[in-house]
Amino acid sequence: MGDISFTPDDSLYKYRDSLSENYTPETIVGRDSEISQYHSALQPVINGETPNNTFLYGKTGVGKTAVTRYLLEQLANDADQFSVDLTVIQLNCEGLNSSYQVAVNLVNRIRPAESHISKTGHPQYEVYDFLWNAFDEIGGTILLVLDEVDNIGDDDSILYQIPRARSNGNISEAKVGIIGISNDLAFRENLSAKVRSSLCEKSISFPPYGATELQAVLKQRADVAFHDDAFDNEVVALCAAFGAQDAGDARKALDLLRGAGDIARAENADRITENHVREARDELEREELMDGIANLADHQQLVLYALTTIEAEGETPARTQTVFQRYEELCEIAGMSCRTNRRVRDFLSELYALSIVESSQRNDGLSGGQYRDHILNHEIRLVVNGMSDLIDRVGIYQSILSTIEEADNVMISSTGDPSTTPN
């Protein structure tokens, strides 16, 4: 073993942690319209009026949490200046799957450690009573941020109990407003009318970022993270362009920039190049896809395998029925009993929801009927890598073997006896 000593390396990075999730940027860029709506929704607080209940929604990584932290910090400073008695309580609801659990967490957040209540065993009304008392004890204006609030699922009574607590006479001292945040678009749709009317007095939608906005976000962060001569605008623009393609998610775009920086550093490069970005993207895409595929059950993977073999033949988009037939063939080869046509349709929908497969609804002009067709959302080679365990068991399909050989221009050795290689 050679030299394994570690020496600090600050050649590219000035402050790498600024690209991580936990870093709070000093300013928010590219969200002017959302910030302006949010600002008006919070205005009553500084006027000493009852705060609006506000609901923020938008896909993952679009700045909901970052903008909230940014605005609430400003609000807290200004409240100080204008002597408004404001308390902000931020709770991430991850892992809290009922109103009861949220209420217990809030009570314990407010109470000192020695009077924390236990997480189970209290009747629901009692926990709410504790909560009302805790709110009244704080008094003034209380803003309650419930981030990732969709975790509470259907058990959402707290979302109308709190807004009504004052009119129901449960609290008298405090004015409480809720800010609910969610990236689950169905959650908002499925809220009962009762909850929606109280929680969504103001609703603010955060759309995915476009390339220009992402570029601004990344540039600001790259200036903090890297030395000036370690990157250029092309690198940032490329990360932003990929980010815009990948659902306009700033978190992913930042991961990509950090990935590129790490690859450049590992290579002892003087600066980050577009090639480093492309390599980092491949790596991230591979990891994401691997995770996605590894979590699929056997039959889901077989359905994906079936579509992959068809894609390798150049026959995609392929109809559900075509995928089903190839799946039946693979089941037979694998000695597994087939799931029904209907189940296979569900599997395809799930693969679509995971962005592993792209599916479209088509109209059949002649018969007037409708059908869906499917195509892989990633390179064949990546998908095949993700399914390597399954393929070892089932055997590598001829069309896939040829595609990979063509792409690599190298022979890959098929494991197992060639006579068991299907087709």
Ligand X SMILES: Nc1ncnc2c1ncn2[C@@H]1O[C@H](COP(=O)(O)OP(=O)(O)OP(=O)(O)O)[C@@H](O)[C@H]1O
Partner in contact with 31, chosen from ligand X, Mg ion, none, beta carbon below 5 to 8 Å by kind: ligand X
Instruction: Using CB atoms within 10 Å of the CB of residue 292, give its burial: 0 to 12 exposed, 13 to 18 middle, 19+ buried.
Output: middle
How many residues are listed for the chain in this entry? Answer: 423
Q: Which two tokens stand for residue 31?
A: 């969200």
Q: Which is nearer to ligand X, 20 or 197 (CB)?
A: 20
Which string of DSSP letters, residue by residue, matches 359-372?
Answer: EEEEE-TTT--EEE
330 touches, from Mg ion, ligand X, none (C-beta below 5 to 8 Å by class): none
Q: Are 256 and 243 within 8 A, CB to CB?
A: yes
Element (H, E) at 181: strand 174-182
Q: Which stretch binds Mg ion (CB under 5 A): 60-68, 119-127, 222-230, 246-254?
A: 60-68
Which partner in Mg ion, ligand X, none is near 103 (CB below 5 to 8 A by kind)?
A: none
Are the beta carbons of 415 and 392 closer than 8 angstroms? yes
What count of other Cβ atoms lies within 10 Å of the Cβ of residue 348? 25
Interface stretch with Mg ion, choices 10-18, 62-70, 80-88, 126-134 (CB under 5 A): 62-70
Residue 21 binding partner per list Mg ion, ligand X, none, with a CB distance cut-off of 5 to 8 Å that depends on partner kind: ligand X
Which residue lies nearest Mg ion, judged by its C-beta?
A: 65
Burial bucket for residue 137 (CB in 10 Å: 0-12, 13-18, 19+): exposed
Distance CA 35, CA 32 (A): 5
* Cα distance between residue 173 and residue 108, in whole Å: 19
CB 160 within 8 A of CB 198: yes
Smaller CB separation from ligand X, 94 or 287: 94
- Which one of ligand X, Mg ion, none interacts with residue 63, CB within 5 to 8 A by kind? ligand X
Q: Which of 65, 157, 215, 399 binds Mg ion (CB under 5 A)?
A: 65
66 is in an annotated binding site: yes
Q: Which does 251 bind (CB under 5 to 8 A by kind): Mg ion, ligand X, none?
A: ligand X
Task: Provide the binding-site residues for ligand X, judged by CB under 6 A.
Answer: 21, 25, 28-31, 58, 60-66, 183, 217, 250-251, 254
Specify the stretch interacting with Mg ion by CB under 5 A; choose among 65-73, 151-159, 241-249, 353-361. Answer: 65-73
Structure tokens of 152?
């509470």
For the CB of residue 209, give the shortest distance to ligand X in the complex, in Å.
Answer: 7
Tell me which stretch binds Mg ion (CB under 5 A): 61-69, 217-225, 270-278, 349-357: 61-69
**Which of these segments, 59-67, 122-130, 172-180, 391-399, binds Mg ion (CB under 5 A)?**
59-67
**Element spanning 380, H or E:** helix 380-386
Residue whose C-beta lies closest to ligand X: 63
Alpha helices in 201-340 (DSSP H): 211-225, 233-245, 250-266, 274-294, 298-312, 320-334
**Closest separation in Å from C-beta 257 to ligand X:** 11
Contact letters (x/-) for Mg ion, 147-166, by CB under 5 A? --------------------
Pick out the residues of the known binding site: 62-66, 209, 221
Pick out the residues of the known binding site for ATP: 62-66, 209, 221
Contacting positions for Mg ion (CB under 5 A) = 65
